């Protein structure tokens, strides 16, 4: 299956706003829309999306403009790498998008691959970072297809 590990796009920081309720910034809305266009252009449209229940992840997914089935999951909010891996272990679909938060989503990206992409931003996994994999957990096969950040799309 194709597996997409995406961190939410840029969110606002506001005094008195709970982390869970933080919204995307105007830049984040543009980033997410650009990422959705990129997913479609490169034939990476998800058939299923697992989305953290935080406001910024749900807004990121909405701005991607993808039409797949979705599951909004409380357990993905600030989940660690191991929890994210458990969430995807038994899922069978053509293309799975996991839309979550750092540090968990970035750590999962590092944990599941043998060879890191040469991209200079891979290890810090900035907002909107998206790793596309050919993923077969049963056979232990993982191949990087692409890694991109919103900044790559804005140039």
Q: Distance between CA atoms of 134 and 4, rounded to whole angstroms?
A: 9
Is 38 part of a structural domain of the chain?
A: yes
60: nearest Cα among 81, 79, 84, 34:
34
What is the domain-level CATH number for residue 90? 3.40.50.1240
Asked whether residue 16 is domain-assigned, the answer is: no
Determine the structural domain holding residue 85 and report its residue range: 2-10+21-154
Residue 68 within any structural domain of the chain = yes
How many domains are contained in the chain?
Answer: 1
Over its length of 155 residues, how does the chain's per-residue pLDDT go in tens digits? 999 999 999 999 878 889 999 999 999 999 999 999 999 999 999 999 999 999 999 999 999 999 999 999 999 999 999 999 999 988 999 999 999 999 999 999 999 998 999 999 999 999 999 999 999 977 778 999 999 999 999 86
């Amino acid at each position: 299956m194709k597996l997409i590990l995406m961190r939410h796009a840029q969110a606002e920081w506001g005094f008195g706003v709970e982390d869970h309720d933080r919204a995307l910034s105007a830049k984040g809305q543009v980033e997410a829309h650009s990422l959705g266009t990129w997913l479609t252009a490169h034939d990476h449209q998800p058939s299923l999306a697992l989305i953290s229940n935080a406001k910024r992840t749900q807004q990121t997914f909405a701005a991607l403009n993808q039409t797949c089935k979705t599951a909004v999951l409380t357990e993905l909010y600030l989940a660690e790498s191991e929890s994210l891996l458990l969430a995807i272990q038994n899922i069978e679909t053509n293309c799975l998008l996991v839309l979550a938060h750092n540090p968990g989503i970035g750590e999962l990206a590092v944990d599941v691959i043998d060879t890191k992409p040469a991209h200079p931003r891979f290890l810090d996994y900035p907002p909107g970072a998206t790793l596309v994999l050919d993923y077969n957990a049963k056979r232990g096969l993982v191949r990087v297809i692409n890694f991109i950040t919103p900044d790559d799309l804005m140039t």
